Amino acid sequence: MKTFVENYLKDNKSYFKEVSSYIYHHPETRFEEYSSSEFLANECERQGFTVERNVANIETAFTATYGSGAPVIGFLGEFDALSGLSQEPNETTYKPLERDVGHGCGHNLLGTGAFAGACAVKKYLEENNISGTVKFFGCPGEEGGSGKTFMVREGVFDSVDAALTWHPSPANAIMSLSSLANYQVKFRFRGTSAHAANAPHLGRSALDAVELMNSGVNYLREHVIPEARMHYAVTNTGGISPNVVQANAEVLYLIRAPKVHQVDEIYQRILKIAEGAAMMTETEVTIEFDKACSNYIQNRQLEKILHDSLQDIGSHTPTDSEEEFAKQIWSTLTDAEQENYLDPMKGFGYIGDGSEFAGKYLADSISPYHESQEILAGSTDVADVSWVVPTAQLTAATSALGTSLHTWQMTTQGLSEFANKGLLRAAGSMALAGIKLVESEEALMKVNQEFKDFREKNSYTCPIPDGVYPSTLNER
Domain spans of the chain?
2-179+295-457, 181-292
pLDDT at 311 over 90: yes
* Nearest Cα to Cα of residue 217 among 257, 269, 291: 269
Give the per-residue pLDDT at 54.
97
Q: Tell me what pLDDT residue 98 has.
A: 86
Task: Give the per-residue pLDDT at 4.
Answer: 96
Q: Is 461 exposed, middle or buried (0-12, 13-18, 19+ CB in 10 A)?
A: exposed
Residue 476: pLDDT above 60?
no
The dihedral of CA 371, 374, 380, 385: what is its sign? positive
Using alpha carbons, select from 401, 403, 396, 399 the residue that is nearest to residue 424.
Answer: 396
Parallel, antiparallel, or unpaired: how do β-strands 50-53 and 132-139 relate? Answer: unpaired
Query: Could you report the per-residue pLDDT of 65-118, keeping only the tens digit for each?
Result: 999 999 999 999 999 999 999 999 999 999 999 889 999 999 999 999 999 999
Alpha-carbon gap, residue 394 to 331, rounded angstroms: 27
Distance CA 263, CA 383 (A): 15
pLDDT value of position 63: 98
Hey, what amino acid is at 16?
Answer: F
Secondary structure string (H, E, C) spanning 97-147: CCCCEECCCCHHHHHHHHHHHHHHHHHHHHHCCCCEEEEEEEECCHHHHCH
Q: Band of the pLDDT at 377, cuts 50, 70, 90?
A: confident
Question: Is the peptide bond prior to 71 cis by the omega test (within 30 degrees of 0)?
Answer: yes
CATH topology of domain 2-179+295-457: Aminopeptidase (3.40.630)
| Identity of the residue numbered 451 | F
319-366 pLDDT tens trace: 999 999 999 999 999 999 999 999 989 999 999 999 999 999 999 999
Provide the edge-to-edge strand list for the sheet that holds 284-293.
229-236, 248-257, 181-190, 284-293
Alpha-carbon span 382 to 417, nearest angstrom: 27
**The pLDDT value given to residue 415:** 98
Contacts of 145 (CB under 8 A, 6+ apart): 30, 31, 80, 291, 381, 470, 471
State the pLDDT at residue 263.
98
Q: What is the pLDDT of residues 111-143, one digit of tens each?
A: 999 999 999 999 999 999 999 999 999 999 999
pTM of the complete model = 0.95
Could you tell me what percent of the chain has a pLDDT over 90?
Answer: 96
pLDDT digits (tens, 9 = 90+) for 208-228: 999 999 999 999 999 999 999
CATH dotted code for 181-292: 3.30.70.360
Across the range 227-251, mean pLDDT stands at: 97
pLDDT in tens, 420-430: 999 999 999 99
Does residue 473 have a pLDDT over 90?
A: no
Query: Given pLDDT bands bounded at 50, 70 and 90, which one contains residue 471?
Result: confident
Of the candidates 281, 105, 80, 95, the residue with the CA atom closest to the CA atom of residue 187: 281
pLDDT for 344:
87
pLDDT above 70: residue 475: no
Q: How far apart are the C-alpha atoms of 330 and 176, rounded to whole Å?
A: 27
Q: pLDDT at position 356, please? A: 95
Counting beta carbons within 10 angstroms of the beta carbon of residue 147, is it exposed (0 to 12), middle (13 to 18) or buried (19 or more)? buried
Task: Return the exposure string of 123-136: e unless at least 16 CB atoms fall within 10 Å of the residue's CB, then b.
Answer: bbbeeeeeebbbbb
**Strand partners of residue 50:** 65
Query: Which amino acid, one-letter code, is at 447?
Result: V
Q: How far is CA 18 from CA 40, 45, 98, 116, 424, in A?
A: 11, 16, 23, 12, 13
Q: What is the mean pLDDT of the chain?
A: 96
> In whole angstroms, what separates CA 394 from the centre of its chain?
13
Which amino acid belongs to residue 40?
L
- Concatenating the DSSP letter of every residue in 312-368 gives HH---PPPHHHHHHHHHHHHTS-HHHHHTTHHHHHTTT--S-SGGGTT-SS--S-PP
Which residues sit opposite 188 in a β-bridge?
Answer: 250, 286
**3-state secondary structure (DSSP) of residue 467:** coil
Report the SS3 class of residue 20. Answer: helix
Neighbours of 208 (CB within 10 A): 21
Place 404 in a pLDDT band, splitting at 50, 70 and 90: very high
The reported pLDDT for the residue numbered 348 is 94
- Kindly state the DSSP code that residue 375 receives in the 8-state scheme: B
Secondary structure of residue 405 in the 3-state scheme: coil
pLDDT for position 60? 98
